[in-house]
Structure 1
Amino acid sequence: MELGKSEITALSRFFRDESKLLLSSKGKLKQWLEQNFDLYHNGKGFVFDAASKEQLRSEIELSYPRLNMRAGLPSEQDRIAISQYINNEKLADIKPSDHHVLVKSHNTPLIIAGDTFHLPQGTSLRLAVDDIDFSQFASIIIVENLDVFDVWHKINLQHSIPSSLIVYRGHEHATAKGLKLLLATLPNNIAVIMFADLDPKGLEIALTTERVIGVLAPSIDDINKLLLAYSQSAVFLRQHSSVTYIAQRQNIAWQGVLECVLQHKLAVMQQVFVALNMPLICYK
């Protein structure tokens, strides 16, 4: 068993406070201390005097020779930096995807550090948010699903869309910190459009993602005439919390799309739009 981030934080807080002689601990930290040191837990914690407390700190630092137990792990460091302190780089605050996004461009090349990139169809770049030159884009289009993002060149846009940065949204729990950072640093004159599944969850994503002012979706006629047969009713039923959320939204740019989803209990995935070469409209 090795110390995790919360255990290191608890120990460093204890060692920094010279007046504190009771180390309250439970769970993993209690188990680790009992396994590695001859300590007695009195039900509330481990009791020390000044000398035994200092001895414990010294003994822990023998096991973690690069880690100052008073200082603990530095915050806001990536895995490369944390590896200088401890043999578990995954304790770093900054994960590999936190400052990066997966992108491609629409109707414009990508300019990165002064170099121009014309990406072949079906390819994308993983970029640090700080390296993106937003001045070349009129809009950002966020794509929910990776396989649809990969074939963006096959998307059938009914009307021309100006130069845009196409960004993969990331998995739910990744939503992606990199994407959140991008949206937080985006100039105000750049529109943000969501391209998600045509289901309650997809519409909730559009409504709850920062800066989104519109969605890409089929026309109301196409939804009513062509897409009902492709709906996954079981998926719709599982999204009851999203149904409740979007049902309370009124007077939004894609109100007609929302009402179609609720009326027909629709859950149509983005992949269907690609397979049918379905024309998409930007509602904003």
Structure 2
Amino acid sequence: MNKQLFDYCKRQLLKQRQGGSVKLTALARTLHHQYGFGEIDRGSLHFSYDQRISLIREIQKQLKLDVLTDEYVPQSRRENALHRRNEKDNSHAVCRDFVLINSLDGLQLNGQVYPANAFTSLGLYVKADEIKSIEHKQIIFVENLEMMANLPALNLPAQLDNPLWLYRGDIQEKQQTSTAYAFFKRFNNNQQQLICFSDLDPAGIQIALTCSAEYWLTPKDSSVVKFSQAKDAEQEFYKQNAAIQYLQHYKNLPDKCQMAFESMLHNRKTLKQEHMLAHQIALGLYKL
């Protein structure tokens, strides 16, 4: 039983505690065919009090959940495999509990030092809850995946001292952002300097302001958004109305954010991290 069907059962069973009938929707038909629940008659699914109780018990047996009071939380495929033939049924993504990290000169985690990878790589996927401590003095929250494999090629400021680089993730389920955000915020304890490295665009500033970072890693010269070497037409700026409005209503933007935002508004342009990498644009560290 997936979450959609579970939530449907919850609504109907709470609404009709003595039995009753519901419209024969696709979900009602699925419930009847897969669980033998109720009887179909003239476009409706009818069920008795005893059938209601039997379904509650069957869901309890299958999912170890009380459909009337519990919330359906997707499990890992490993947990599903303990009591289901279909281990993928409404399971969360395998990578959900993992974060992608990298460093320029070895990883310093859980009181240990791990040598840097000898090969060019995106970094190391690790289970987030297995990281109990980070000995790096700085953690950098990275917006775009391309940066993770090209750290040595970035034109970085001298203030960075072998930071831990953490990939933010994206909208794909296998690389979702929530775990990385939670991991980053977990170390907001004054022992590490939290830094955001994002695109030079309104959305990038919004990320920097909302991810719990203390500093923003961004081009020293915000007017680089003009980017004379790019001859094609700007399109990204016009897709960011929500972020633009967010910044326009933000009280007391940090100085560097304000300067960068004004340059974006004036030029109607943005600059992605990939451009900073490809053109060796000098980066600086600024207080948020």
Give the TM-score category using the shorter length: 0.7 to 0.9
1:245-256 map, 5 Å: 245-249=246-250, 250-254=252-256, 255-256=258-259
Of 261, 266, 288, the residue aligned with 1:263 is 266
Deviation of the 1:94 alpha carbon: 4.5
Contact between 1:16 and 1:70, CA under 8 Å: does it hold in 2? no
Q: Is 2:183 the counterpart of 1:182?
A: yes
SS at match of 1:67: helix
1:178-218 CA-to-partner distances (Å, cap 9, x unmatched) read 21220232141122211111112222222222x11222211
TM-score norm. by structure 1 comes to: 0.79
Q: What is residue 172 of structure 1 aligned with on the other side?
A: 171
CA–CA distance in structure 1, aligned partners of residues 180 and 53 of structure 2? 45
1:129-160 CA-to-partner distances (Å, cap 9, x unmatched) read 22225341222111111112211121111323
Alpha-carbon distance change, 125 to 56 in structure 1, aligned in 2, over 3 angstroms: closer
Q: Is 2:66 the counterpart of 1:67?
A: no
1:115-141 CA-to-partner distances (Å, cap 9, x unmatched) read 623223532110112222534122211
Q: What is residue 207 of structure 2 aligned with on the other side?
A: 205
Give 2:40's aligned amino acid.
Y
CA–CA distance in structure 1, aligned partners of residues 207 and 229 of structure 2? 24
TM-score norm. by structure 2 comes to: 0.78
SS at match of 1:134: coil
Deviation of the 1:87 alpha carbon: 3.3
Higher mean Cα deviation, 267-276 or 78-87? 78-87
Unaligned runs of at least 5 residues, structure 1: none
Give 1:79's aligned amino acid.
R
Sequence identity (%): 20
Deviation of the 1:163 alpha carbon: 3.3
CA–CA distance in structure 2, aligned partners of residues 56 and 220 of structure 1? 64
SS at match of 2:227: helix
Aligned residues: 275
Give 1:265's aligned amino acid.
R
Deviation of the 1:70 alpha carbon: 6.6
CA–CA distance in structure 1, aligned partners of residues 198 and 9 of structure 2? 45
Q: What is residue 194 of structure 1 aligned with on the other side?
A: 196
Contact between 2:107 and 2:113, CA under 8 Å: does it hold in 1? no
Alpha-carbon distance change, 170 to 21 in structure 1, aligned in 2, over 3 angstroms: same
SS at match of 1:136: coil
CA-based RMSD of the aligned residues comes to: 3.6
Deviation of the 1:31 alpha carbon: 2.4
Unaligned runs of at least 5 residues, structure 2: none
Give 1:30's aligned amino acid.
A
